Amino acid sequence: MRWSAIALSITLMSGTVACSADNPQQPVCAHHDGSILVLEAQSVPSATRIPCIAELPIGWRFAGSLVRDSGTTLWLDHDRAGVHAVEVELMMRCDVSQAVEVPPAPDEIGMRTYQLPESLDPFVGSRMLVFDGGCIVSRYRFAEGSEPALVIEADRAVSTLPRATIVAEVRRDLDLTVCGAGAPPCAG
């Protein structure tokens, strides 16, 4: 009885921690074989680029992800910009009609880049990367009083991987196909 009560307490308490967060697995750009990257690729089979975390500057923290059949969402927290200060979403298409096209950054060559600033204090805005078969939208919603310049750090933290890299890794490891763009036809 005593042991079952203790076990129940531990289980319940660990559950409080476990269930209160979103998927905590971090899609690290350097780890091409990460299963979270495969899952992201599966969420938008047409997307030729997959969002990942390149490096997290001091103050930034990966806050979780939600990967489902309609797309992938990643969140970043910052100690001053706040919880979910940045939301990165991978989807099949996005609306860029209100946004302004800007030159792509060096790691964005081959993609079309758009920006949609909404407010400076608190800093609110979006950045869209449009590529073959998909689009990545980074939404910034910083806490009041935090510097808008943090957006530069946020942009440095998030990068993309070519889908083909992930497809090749899975082919090499499991001899199986991640269905979608750049892959041979799948069954069904």
Partner 1 sequence: MDTAEPTTETTHERRQRVLGPDVRRRPSGEAPPLPRELGRSGRFWLFMAAYFVATVIGVVLFEPSERLFHRIDTAVLRWFASWRAAPLTDVMETIALLTSRWMIRILRWGTIATLITVRRWRHLLVFLGALIVEAFVTYGLTLAIHRPRPLDVVTIGPWQDFSMPSRGLAALAVTLVGITYSLIPHGRWRDAAKWGTGGLLVVVGLARVYLAIDHPTDAIFGAVLGVAIGLTAFRWFAPNDVFPVTYRRGKAAHLDVGGRRGEAIATAVRDQLGYRVLDVQPVGLEGSGGSTPLRLRVREEGSGTERVLFAKLYAKSHVRADRWYKLGRTILYGKLEDETPFQTVRRFVEYEDYTLRLMEDLDLPVPRPYGVVEITPEREYMIVMEFFDGAVEIGDAEIDDRVIDQGLRLVRDMWDEGLAHRDIKPANLMVLDGDLKLIDVFFVQVRPSPWRQAVDLANMMMVLGLRSDAQRVYEHAQRLFTPDEIAEAFSATRGVASPTQLRTMMKEDGRDLMAEFQALAPQRAPMKIQRWSVRRILLTIGVVLMAFIVFGLIASNWAVFA
Q: How far is the CB of 159 from partner 1 (least distance, A)?
A: 21
Between 25 and 165, whose beta carbon lies closer to partner 1?
25
| Tokens found for residue 164 | 């083909």
Between 69 and 144, whose beta carbon lies closer to partner 1?
69
Neighbours of 84 (CB within 10 A): 16
Contacts of residue 47, defined as CB under 8 A and 6 or more positions apart, other chains included, come to 41, 90, 92, 131, 133, 134, 163, 180, 181
Between 23 and 113, whose beta carbon lies closer to partner 1?
23
Between 11 and 119, whose beta carbon lies closer to partner 1?
11
User: Quick check: 170 and 128 in contact, CB under 8 A?
Assistant: no
- Contact residues toward partner 1 (CB under 8 A) are 1, 4, 9, 11-16, 18-20, 23-25, 35-36, 38-39, 42, 66-70, 170, 173-179, 186-188
Q: How far is the CB of 57 from partner 1 (least distance, A)?
A: 26
Q: How far is the CB of 76 from partner 1 (least distance, A)?
A: 19
3-state secondary structure of 154: helix
User: Quick check: 176 and 184 in contact, CB under 8 A?
Assistant: no
Q: How far is the CB of 102 from partner 1 (least distance, A)?
A: 33
Distance CA 153, CA 57 (A): 7
